[in-house]
Each structure stands twice: as C-alpha cells, then as structure tokens.
Amino acid sequence: MSTMKPIDETQGPAEDTQPDTSSALTRRGLLARTGATLATGALLMHGRAARAQSSVPGAHGPREGSAADTGGKVARQAHLPPGKAGRDYRPVVVPNGAKLPWKDVGGVKVFHMVAEEVEHEFAPGLKALCWGYNGHVHGPTIEVVEGDRVRFYVTNRLPASTTVHWHGILLPNGMDGVGGLNQKAIAPGETYRYEFTVRQSGTGMYHSHHDEMTQMALGMVGLFIIHPRKPVGPRVDRDFAIMLHEWRIDPGTRRPDPNEMTDFNVLTMNAKAFPGTEPMVVRKGERVRIRLGNLSAMDHHPIHLHGYQFRITETDGGRIPESAQWPETTVLVPTGSTRTIEFVADEPGDWAMHCHMTHHVMNQMGHDLPNMVGVKPQGLDAKVRPLLPGYMTMGQTGMGDMAGMHHMPMPANSIPMVGGKGPYDDITMGGMFTLLKVRDHLDGEGDPGWYTPPPGTQARLANADELRRDGIDV
C-alpha cells in the first residue's frame, strides 16, 4: 500500500497520560458484570470526555503506542480527524457482506469486534457452523481513511483463544497480532485492545493469527479497506470488495473441515458460492474498481472478467504507477494477497466473473469417480436399478447435466455441484462465480434482473438457409 507522508507533526493532547483503565476494564471482570457490548460502550464513554474537549480538529495528538502502554518512550505520531464517508471517500460495496461500524471517541475511530461462532449459509441449501466476527462470515469489512487513528476492541466469545492480525497494514510490532510472538492470545471471554494510526492507503485484510489453520478454515478472515486522504488515480463510481476463500464441507455435515489440505469443495466470494453470490450492479459508462483479497488455505485464484479489459491498479503493496499497470482479462490473486482492478463499464450486459480454475466453479464436487466420459451405459441403468433403486450412470457426457440436479433430491445440507438458474438454461457453474450487471439505466440499487440483448446481437440456432448460403456442410 502507499505509505502516507507525514501529515501533521502537531502533537495534541496525550491520550493515555490518564490512567489506562481500559485494559483492566475490558477484561473478564467487567464482562461478567455488564456483558461485553455494554461494557465496551460504558468504557468508551468513561474517561474520554476530557480528551474530546481538548482535541483540536486537524491536530489530534495520539500516536503509535500510548504513554500508559509504553512508558511514553514511543515516538509520537500525529493523526487526522476521522475520515467520513461522502466527504473523504466513496464507500466500498461488499456484495453479500457487511461493514464494521465505528464511533468517533475523541477523534479516534473505535470499533468492537466479537469473535464468535456463526451459522452461515453458503448458498440456498448449504449451511455450516463457522467462526466469524459480529455475526458474520467472513468478518465485516473494515473501512477507514489514511491518517485515521483506529482502536479495535476484540472480544473473544469462541471456545478457543484467538488473535487478530492486520494483514498488510503498517503498524507498530506489538499491534501485529501474531499469537505468542507479538502478544498473548486472547483467551475465551477476554477483550483485547489494538490501536494504531493508519499511514497508508489501499486494500488490506485481517484474520486470526492463532491456530491459523483451524480458525481461518472456519472463516475468521475479513477485508481492511483504506481510502487515501486525497484522491489517487481516476475517481471511481463503483468500488466493490470481494474476499476469496475455500472450504471443505462434506455433504450432510455441518462443519467446515479445517484438516483438509488440498481438496476443497466449496469455493466462495465473500463466503458465498454461486448461485448464492450477489451480482455487482453498474450503470453503463461508470468507472469500476474491484478489490479482490485471497485468504484461501492453499490456492491462488485466477479471477477472469468477461467483456472487458482491465488494469491491475493495486497490490497489497500499494497503488501501481499508471505506467506500470498491466492490461489483463484475468488477474491472479495469490493466497495471502490482494489485487485491485479498474475499468470503465462501457459494454452493457450480464458479464461473468469467476475463478478460471474449473474445479473452483463447482460445488461440493465428488471426484472419487471413474472417468465416465465416452462410456455408453446402454442397459446398465436398468440392470442396476433392482439393486440400487434410482441408480443413474452419470458423467458420460461430462458434468453439464449436473446442473439439472437442483430438480432432484439432494443429500441433506448440500448443494448441486453446478448450477443456478439462468434466463435461458441452467448455468453450469457454481462456486467462485458471480456476475457484473451493466445497464444503460438503473432503477434503484437492487438486482436489475437478466439482460436482454438487442435484436441481432445474440448467438442463436443457425438456420438451413444460412448454412447453405455460407457453404457450411453439417
């Protein structure tokens, strides 16, 4: 991400020269007394008033580390007043997702994250017990502005210890959230406090950094969007953010399996598998940004957008200078990375955007199967049915017919390998698949329905006259 230039050397009131009651107050004792949410609210109101009164707009003084935390030895760094949506940035749209709310306490953006178990629906018909934040899987998207001072309270309501790592975010080492290395892990019932000044802009992420294998596999990841304080690059009209992830959920089970190493069967965008994914809706001519993050356990995802050439404008290392931006139609998003693309949506339609690894656009694919392509089962089905009622040989012309399986009985808590309903037929993709819907006109913000191509602009059955005319012998 782009590193922020020093913006203000003025030192305002020292935030933590008052006794630092927060660390004590946020721990178990207060939780037990009043409940976590109330406790944090009360805490935030308490002891901050003096600071709020004395803070000077544009010259707030809190800095990296606090006097109480560090004995006042850490160099102080100024921050800016909290950046506001509409004034300082155009908010990102998180399809299927949520944003983490904040409140301004004495010029600091204060957030409360609650790590907890969440029942999550991946697509209609498939739910699992996951771990997430604030009732969401993945966690709500954090959206801040370069120069903001941010304070995160993290309450652990899981049965296991956890931490939060701010992935790609520049901050003091003690705030980095690696369990055991930078801090003691947050025990069940405890609330920890993280605080730093945001000194970059771009697309970052956050995730558990304690028992990562289990906790990330169960969903404990989220996006951390930082808008520049001053605009960088062409202004965009639509700014979408999508987290890529992969899961192992066997049909009929209710828990993602964290022990899976290679064979993931639910591939998601913002924790939804198609047809559960919400489309990105855009007006023709608008400049569009799509931020993609990937915290999959093992896989990189080459995300392909139909209908457009785009520029890769940003990695998690920051904005790419315009002269170095590559035109592409597929962007590889390595695991542990973010990539941002931009383009002008000048071609209306319903455009597919999906991972180009073909097994990543399947749902709960069983592949412990013989290769049936080209096999002619003839009377086999009839012979087997007395032994296995309802038996049907499958796969002899591929998996396209699986799309029709949403008309058939399915195992409990599972979804068809492929297929959502399209305007013409079943769509033979699932998983990491979504739609960019570009329209000349939009009524409201919702899904505009299916695109109707103008007459003469759609593939159709060739007729005999045309075949004869053009010398096509079929």
Give residues in contact with Cu ion (CB under 5 A).
301, 355, 357, 360
Query: Rounded to whole angstroms, how far apart are CA atoms 36 and 158?
Result: 13
* Nearest-approach distance from CB 357 to Cu ion, in angstroms: 4
Question: Which residue lies nearer to Cu ion by CB, 129 or 357?
Answer: 357
Question: Which residue lies nearer to Cu ion by CB, 68 or 357?
Answer: 357
* Nearest-approach distance from CB 265 to Cu ion, in angstroms: 12
* Nearest-approach distance from CB 330 to Cu ion, in angstroms: 11
Question: Which residue lies nearer to Cu ion by CB, 298 or 380?
Answer: 298
Question: Which residue lies nearer to Cu ion by CB, 21 or 330?
Answer: 330
Question: Which residue lies nearer to Cu ion by CB, 113 or 355?
Answer: 355
* Nearest-approach distance from CB 435 to Cu ion, in angstroms: 17
Query: Rounded to whole angstroms, how far apart are CA atoms 408 and 404?
Result: 8
* Nearest-approach distance from CB 359 to Cu ion, in angstroms: 8
* Nearest-approach distance from CB 295 to Cu ion, in angstroms: 13
Question: Which residue lies nearer to Cu ion by CB, 156 or 296?
Answer: 296
Question: Which residue lies nearer to Cu ion by CB, 198 or 266?
Answer: 266
Question: Which residue lies nearer to Cu ion by CB, 284 or 306?
Answer: 306
Q: Residue 171 to residues 63, 76, 294: CA-CA distances in angstroms?
A: 11, 13, 21
Question: Which residue lies nearer to Cu ion by CB, 4 or 273?
Answer: 273
* Nearest-approach distance from CB 362 to Cu ion, in angstroms: 11
* Nearest-approach distance from CB 426 to Cu ion, in angstroms: 21
* Nearest-approach distance from CB 294 to Cu ion, in angstroms: 9
